[in-house]
Amino acid sequence: MKRLPLLLLGLGALLALGILSSVVTQGFQQVARVEQERAELEAEQARLERSIAELEATLEALRRSPEAVESMARLELGWIRPGETVLILAAPTLPPLPVSAAEPTPTPIYSLKTP
């Protein structure tokens, strides 16, 4: 009889430790997920900061240099100066293959028929 309360106390302690372990494990998993998300956000922030720096450099070049404005107009807008001739080089394209409605019949490489 004296062992029953000790046994119940031990089972209760094991149950409490199991629940506590589950809660702690979930907490560690959540911390790992948050750290992963933080790393992804920091990488995105670094990418955006590089993009901002490039755009600011482009803006500064456009403010200071008429040649940069002309270059941007030519590249982005396709502008040309009066009297210039534009050559558009097109890559040749192959004609489309004919499409037949009937299924092609395969030709055997080797036939067992005797003539």
Residue 41 belongs to some domain of the structure: yes
Q: Which domain holds residue 10?
A: 3-77
Q: Both tokens of residue 61?
A: 């070049």
Coil vs helix vs strand at 11? helix
Q: Is residue 102 a part of any domain in this protein?
A: no
- 106 or 63: whose pLDDT is higher? 63
In the chain, how many domains are there?
Answer: 1
Q: What is the 3-state secondary structure (H, E, C) of 36-104?
A: HHHHHHHHHHHHHHHHHHHHHHHHHHHHHCHHHHHHHHHHHHCCCCCCCCCCCCCCCCCCCCCCCCCCC
pTM of the entire structure? 0.49
Select the more confidently predicted residue: 40 or 31.
Answer: 40
Question: Would you say residue 112 lies in a domain?
Answer: no
Specify the higher pLDDT residue, 76 or 51: 51
